[in-house]
Amino acid sequence: MLTKNDVTVSDALRVFDKIRHSGVQQIGFKDIGLPKEELRRLVRMMHEDQLETFLEVVSETREASMNSARTALELGVDYLIGGTYPEPILDLTRGSGIKFFPYVGRIVGHPCLLRGTIDGIVEDARRVEKLGVDGINLLAYRFDGDVPKLMRSVVSAIRIPVIVAGSIDSAARIQEVSECGAWGFTIGGAIFDKKFAAEGDLLSQLRVVLAQIQSHSDRGSGRA
């Protein structure tokens, strides 16, 4: 994700141009931080490179969230993830071809935090699954409890894919996500903060992460 602190970085176009041939196949941004015209250029460049595109909704109000969903439709992204109003967003996007992975649980603040009990979050995931969404976007490392237990509980309770989003900033967390059976995960600020390689540029960070993903994939730990 071309994001930090739940905001698309202001130089996202420049950053993408530097990393577009890194081997990353899925790339995205938040609904906050860049004007629509720049997002349009960004998505066009991503599609030219045949990358899968993700827009994550972190807006807190219903009106802003719906506007972001409309922007996703206009831009033609492949995945719309996040958002705390699954029913109206699903009504808007149904039949569009966009895959929708909303948040579950109680989301508070910005950057977004996940609150509630594990049982309550699991029940919310089951409820949202029944609506007909394509997957779940789980803010696992923004949860103030047993994160591995939360991930395992949600993944095992539903039949649709789970993306783990937010605050994945170490090799240990990538391993936990893979072992818990998540379909995928997002990384944003940790790349810009050089959490994976103390020295080197953004490409160096990405290469370390991609190597770890490949290692888990080779061992059959699931997609990330």
Per residue in 47-105, pLDDT (tens digit) is 999 999 999 999 999 999 999 999 999 999 999 999 999 999 999 999 999 999 999 99
> Higher confidence at residue 133 or residue 207?
133
Using CB atoms within 10 Å of the CB of residue 181, give its burial: 0 to 12 exposed, 13 to 18 middle, 19+ buried. middle
Spell out the domains of the chain, with CATH numbers in brackets: 3-218 (3.20.20.70)
The pLDDT assigned to 200 comes to: 75
Q: What local confidence, expressed as pLDDT, does residue 15 receive?
A: 95
pTM of the model: 0.92
pLDDT-derived band of residue 8, with 50, 70 and 90 as boundaries?
very high
pLDDT (tens digit per residue) in 116-141? 999 999 999 999 999 999 999 999 99
